[in-house]
A = this chain, B = another copy of it.
Amino acid sequence: MTKQKNSRRRGNDLLDSLYNATIKLTDTVKLTNLTFQQIAEEANTSRAVLYRRWTTPFELLQEIYNYKAKELFDGSFFDKLKDNGSLRSDFLQLLTLFQNTYKKIGAEIINNYYFLRTQDSDNSQETEMHKNAVEKYLRTMERILQNAETRGEKIKKVHHVTLMLPFDLIRTENLIRPENINKNRLATMVEEVLLPVFTE
C-alpha cells in the first residue's frame, strides 16, 4: 500500500517510518539514552521533521506506545471468544487470547507503555483509552461468568476490581516472569487461581 513512485514520504508514511526507526533503536539504545539525532538518521530524514511534531523523545515514545497498545485496549480479540461449554475452557481461552495479543504487540512495548503511564499522570487521551478498555474487560468477564451460571455452574459474586484478575495475571507474568509463560502456566492460572476465585 506504500507509494514507491515518490521519493519524499509524507503524513502517515513518514510517521510510520519515524515510529519504526525509534522502536528499532530501542533494541540497542536504552530508552533513557535516545536522541532525536539518532532517530532522524535511522529514519533517513531531517531533525526538523521531528521537532515539528514533538519537543522531546519522551513525547514521541509516549505517542508510539499509546498507538501500539491500542490493539490491546480495543478488545477486538474478544470477538474470537466462544462459549466452550465450561468455565475452565472459557478462562483458558481468555488467557490464551490475551497472552497472544501481548505476544503479537510485543511484551516490551506494553511494559514500556505502562511505565510511561506512571511517568505522566496528565495524559487524558490514554486515560480515556484505558478507561474504555477496563470497561470492555469487565463486560467480557461478566459475560463469561453469566454463561457459566446459565450452564448451572456456581458463580461467586465479587467486586468489580476482582474481575480484572485474569488481565492482571497476564500483565504481571509478562513484566516479572516472561520466560515462564507457556500453556502449562496459563492452565495453572486457571486451575489454581481463576476457578477457585470465581466458583464455589
> Which A residues fall within an 8 A CB radius of B?
30-34, 56-58, 61, 108, 111-112, 114-115, 118-120, 156, 158-159, 161-162, 165, 168-169, 171-172, 175-177, 180, 185, 188, 192-193, 196-197
The answer to whether B188 and A159 have CB atoms under 8 Å apart is yes
The answer to whether B158 and A168 have CB atoms under 8 Å apart is no
Additional 11 contacts, C-beta under 8 A, given A171-B176, A196-B197 = A30-B56, A30-B119, A32-B32, A32-B57, A33-B56, A161-B177, A168-B169, A168-B172, A192-B197, A193-B197, A197-B197
What is the CB-to-nearest-CB distance from A106 to chain B, in angstroms, rounded to a whole number? 12
The answer to whether A161 and B188 have CB atoms under 8 Å apart is yes
What is the CB-to-nearest-CB distance from A34 to chain B, in angstroms, rounded to a whole number? 7
* Docked CA distance A2–B70 (Å): 50
* Docked CA distance A119–B119 (Å): 16
The answer to whether A158 and B30 have CB atoms under 8 Å apart is no
For residue A192, which residues in chain B have a CB less than 8 angstroms away from its CB?
Answer: 156, 158-159, 162, 197
The answer to whether B61 and A118 have CB atoms under 8 Å apart is no
* Docked CA distance A119–B61 (Å): 14
The answer to whether B165 and A193 have CB atoms under 8 Å apart is yes
For residue A112, which residues in chain B have a CB less than 8 angstroms away from its CB?
Answer: 115, 118
* 16 sampled A-B residue pairs with Cβ under 8 A: A30-B120, A32-B57, A32-B58, A32-B61, A33-B57, A108-B118, A111-B118, A114-B176, A159-B192, A161-B177, A161-B180, A161-B188, A192-B197, A196-B196, A196-B197, A197-B197
